[in-house]
Amino acid sequence: MKIRLRLLLPAVAVAAAVVCGSARADGPKTSLVIRNQQFIPPVVNIPAQTKIEIVVRNEDRMPAEFESYDLSREIVVPGLSAVSVYVGPLPAGRYRFFNDFNHAASGWVVSVPDPKSR
């Protein structure tokens, strides 16, 4: 199965669309800080059924890994830097996350039914 260039165009178009899409205006956003090997705040409230960006800022020198089986995420956050991770849309409930590089640090994302209550 030899593939000609024109068959690649859809793939290139998809890649381009994805890149352009990621540059679009941002949606709801919240932040989470790692300081002295703890998550601050330990409970992050987010609106239910909404995709939300969590900016995880690591203020320690030691790298961290924001990991959650409940949220299906695993993201390394280098020391003294920030990484964005998107979660949701989630049904109302509690979702545990932890630092895979230091299991002493953990927290919860709480998906709250009424967006105004956060």
Partner 1 sequence: MLAAAIIVFREVLEAVLIMSIVLGASRGVARRGLWVAAGVVAGVTGAGIIAVSASAVARLFSYVGQPLLNAGILLVAVLTLSWHAIWMAAHGRSPATKVKMLGHKEASVSRRYRMSPKPSSVVTALCLGLVLGGGAARADDLVVYSPYVVQRQSEIEFRGDMLHDRSAAVSGTSSYQVSVAHAFTGWWRPELYLAEYRNTPGAGAQTQGYEFENVFQLTRAGKYWADVGFLASYHHQVAGQPDDIEFGPLLERRDGRVVNVLNLIWEKQIAPASSNYEFRTAYSLRYQWRPALQPGFETYIRPDDHAYQAGPVVYGELLTASGSELEYSTGVVLGINRDAPDAAWLLRVEYEFF
Question: Which residues of this chain interact with partner 1, rule CB under 8 A?
Answer: 1-5, 7-8, 11, 14-15, 18-19, 21-22, 51, 53, 62-64, 69-76, 78-79, 81, 83-87, 100-101
Minimum Å gap between C-beta 22 and partner 1 is 5
Task: Report the C-alpha gap between 32 and 67 in whole angstroms.
Answer: 13
Q: Residues 65, 98: contact at Cβ < 8 Å?
A: no
116: which DSSP letter?
G
CA quadruple 33, 38, 41, 45: dihedral positive or negative? Answer: positive
Residue 10 vs 116, nearer CB to partner 1: 10
Task: Reduce the DSSP state of residue 5 to 3 states and report it.
Answer: helix
Minimum Å gap between C-beta 37 and partner 1 is 11
Residue 4 vs 116, nearer CB to partner 1: 4
Residue 102 vs 112, nearer CB to partner 1: 102
